[in-house]
Amino acid sequence: MAIRVRSTLAGRRIAWKISGLALFGLLWNAPAVMSADDLYDAAAIPHVGNAARDSYYQLFLNAPGHRAFVIAPGGAWAWTSGQKSAAAAERAALVECAKRTRQRCVPYAVDDQVTFSRQQWPRLWGPYASAGQAAKAREGTAPGERFPDLAFTDAKGRRLSVAGLRGKIVLLHFWGSWCPPCARELPTLHGFFRILRERLPSDVAVVLLQMREPVEQARDWLIQQGLESLPLYDSGSRGAQDHRLTTAVHTHIPDRDIARVFPSSYVIDRNGVVIFAHRGPITDWTEYLAFFEDAGRRTVR
């Protein structure tokens, strides 16, 4: 038996708590519409990078025995081979993938068949919490938890908070102009913001919060890069040694409790519950448009 695992966290062997192996019952239980993807077209695998596609094409497709390749929104992936049955291969790959992401993992290919459903893929941020369920959710940054009520100010100095954005799907992005991965990511986020503004103008709010620098420095950098239309808000940070974020009730949270690395991004549903969390840069934000559209359709206050 062979198991191959990689994730978007640069190969770090990090595991998060997953709420039980009952996860498998939720993974792909909606009626599936099978993809017409070519088994040998590694470029068709969504969200993953070149390392995953190379491993899929060069190793997975040539591996012996029963095998399965699984993926998750955000780019985590895993595969296994040499199993006694296709079902065993799928289970083993799902377990390995779940160790490396908070998102739901689903099969892409099992043995010689692409089982991936592009129709179901954008629905993986759900099921979405009702307002009542959200009110009872514990506070935190993992999917299913109620995001802390961080405070920030807009360009006119008006004080806002995460809770004040209830009713919208919120993309929170924690970044710094001093951060090379942030600088590489922002052009694709800028393009995605323009798409959201056209496609979902009343459903989605995008909030950029600068980390460990004054907001004036972050704003000047955005202007220099031609990215000034991005919606920058002031996190309250005043410099490189300022590592605190402030809540709406004036308590403080270490910024690393929210953003373990920079950049970090969260998507929060209309009721304040985290539906997507990602550490590090995202290569192509436009791959997430269908997820935002699904969240916009299927979440209510």
CA gap 176, 17 in Å, rounded:
29
- Residue 219, classified by CB atoms within 10 Å of its CB into exposed (0-12), middle (13-18) or buried (19+), is middle
pTM for the model stands at 0.87
**CA–CA distance from 115 to each of 56, 70, 112, 129, 210 (Å)?**
15, 10, 9, 28, 41
- Residue 100, classified by CB atoms within 10 Å of its CB into exposed (0-12), middle (13-18) or buried (19+), is buried
Write down how long the chain is: 301
Structural domains of the chain, with CATH: 2-123 (no CATH), 131-298 (3.40.30.10)
Bridge-based pairing of strands 204-210 and 169-175 is parallel
pLDDT truncated to tens, each residue of the chain (301 aa)? 555 544 433 333 333 333 333 333 334 444 444 455 899 999 999 999 999 999 999 999 999 999 999 999 999 999 999 999 999 999 999 999 999 999 999 999 999 999 999 999 999 999 999 999 999 999 999 999 999 999 999 999 999 999 999 999 999 999 999 999 999 999 999 999 999 999 999 999 999 999 999 999 999 999 999 999 999 999 999 999 999 999 999 999 999 999 999 999 999 999 999 999 999 999 999 999 999 999 999 988 7
Per-residue DSSP letter, 274: E
